[in-house]
């Protein structure tokens, strides 16, 4: 018995321009986790996948804003603590998938219904005002957040 938690990304369900290679890996993590969950069904082992959107880590520290995936340019990143809380909650509640922030589920639902809808939502997120309305931006961008962290 136990729990396995794999870390993917929102890009594990919806790829963005400029980050196709990253999306391939995250899609792989997602597919592996789905298959593993089915293989261990009934064994007492639970498998969860966490799909955070932009997170305040050093991953993109060296990237210029113009090199960021367009939907991420105005997003306020999640903190590592928020992601860690989601991991703990997934294990305690036996959740199979956790998407952060919750409003990112709208993007993934749109993508599941139609790639055209997913692309429209991703394009809409490139607008600061829309990202704010969807509570994916509080005004502070990734680079502004990371700049406040000790290097």
Residues 21-67 pLDDT 10s: 999 999 999 999 999 999 999 999 999 999 999 898 888 888 888 88
- Rounded to whole angstroms, the Cα distance separating 138 from 149 reads 18
Q: For all residues of the chain together, what is the average pLDDT? A: 90
Cα dihedral across residues 133, 79, 28, 2: positive or negative? negative
By the 10 Å C-beta count (0-12 exposed, 13-18 middle, 19+ buried), 39 is classed as exposed
Whether residue 151 has pLDDT greater than 80: no
pLDDT digits (tens, 9 = 90+) for 101-143: 998 999 999 999 999 999 999 999 888 888 888 878 887 888 7
Which domains are present in the chain?
Answer: 2-58+67-147 (3.40.50.720)
């Amino acid at each position: 018995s136990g729990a396995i938690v794999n870390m993917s990304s929102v890009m594990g369900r919806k790829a963005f321009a400029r980050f196709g290679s990253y999306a391939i890996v995250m899609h792989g993590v997602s597919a592996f986790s789905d298959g593993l969950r089915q293989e261990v069904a009934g064994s007492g082992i639970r498998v969860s996948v966490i799909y955070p959107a932009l997170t305040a880590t050093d991953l993109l520290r060296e990237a210029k804003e113009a090199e960021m995936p367009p939907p991420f340019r105005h997003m306020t990143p999640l903190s590592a603590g928020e992601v860690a809380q989601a991991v703990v909650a997934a294990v305690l509640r036996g959740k199979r998938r956790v998407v952060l922030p919750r409003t990112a589920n709208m993007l993934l639902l749109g993508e599941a219904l139609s790639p055209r809808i997913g692309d429209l939502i991703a394009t809409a997120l490139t607008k600061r005002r829309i990202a704010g309305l969807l509570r994916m931006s509080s005004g502070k961008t990734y680079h502004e957040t990371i700049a406040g962290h000790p290097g």
